[in-house]
Amino acid sequence: MNSISTQNLTSIPSINDLKMLLKSLAALDAIISPEWDYRYYSFNSQWGMNEQMGSMRNGCGDEFFVLFNQHGCFIKGFAHDSAMSSWCTDEQKPWEGLLKGLPNEFKEAAEEPAFSMDNISFCLWRSFQDAEWQIGEFEFEDDDDPDGSEYLINGVRAIDLSAYLC
């Protein structure tokens, strides 16, 4: 099984498959953790006009937000210990070039306060017309998982239910 990350975009599920997966995770989490504050995954089917949003927060500061709109999908992630974390840059800004090439259809998402864009280590997007997922124009830091995307996104596919069994 190939790892999912921004360095291996071909393994990331399609937009619709990702939406179904995040909805399923949020539903499972709601059953296992009735109190919202203790959930890792959530899904808001009425985030905005023609928008839905799935998210993961691990309680240790790592998170991702996935916005689905009529144009496609925008993903923003933050692995705070990653080499490309905004915490590792001057003035806590996104890694240089991380958002370069972001289509206008997703610019509003990149400015959404709820997505905490000061806390970012990776970003990717895909319109319904794109053949594959896209990332900005930047150089990866020299590290096994430089932006933390493998740690965060790959976990969606290989769910470890032991976190729920404490």
pLDDT recorded at residue 158: 45
Q: Is residue 25 part of a domain?
A: yes
Structure confidence at residue 160 as a pLDDT band (50, 70, 90) = very low
pLDDT mean across residues, the chain: 88
Average pLDDT over residues 7-34: 91
Its pTM stands at 0.89
Asked if residue 88 is part of any domain, the answer here is yes
Q: Please, are residues 97 and 63 in contact by the beta-carbon 8 Å criterion?
A: no
> Does some domain include residue 89?
yes
d(CA 61, CA 84): 15
Residue 154 has pLDDT above 80, yes or no: no
pLDDT confidence tier of residue 159, bands split at 50, 70 and 90: very low
Asked, for residue 104, whether it belongs to a domain, the answer is yes
Grouping H, G, I as helix, E, B as strand and the rest as coil, residue 17 is: helix
Residue 17 lies in a domain: yes
- Residue 5 reports pLDDT greater than 50: yes
Residue 108 lies in a domain: yes
| Residue 1: inside a domain | no
List of E strands, 10-147: 41-48, 51-57, 63-69, 72-78, 122-127
The boundaries of the domain holding residue 19 are 9-164
What pLDDT sits at residue 12?
Answer: 87
pLDDT at 89 over 90: no
Residue pair 157/4 in contact (Cβ under 8 Å)? The answer is yes
Question: With 50 as the cut, is the pLDDT of residue 165 above it?
Answer: no
In a domain, 3, yes or no: no
Calculate mean pLDDT across residues 11-24. 91
Report the number of distinct structural domains present in the chain: 1
Backbone angles phi and psi of 96, in degrees to 5: -55, 125
Q: Which of 126, 127, 130, 119 is nearest to 152 (CA)?
A: 119
| Whether pLDDT at 72 is above 60 | yes
pLDDT at residue 1 tops 80 = no
Instruction: Classify residue 116 as left (phi > 0), alpha (psi -120 to 50) or beta.
Output: left
pLDDT of residue 156: 60
Of residues 135, 146, 121, the one with CA closest to residue 62: 121
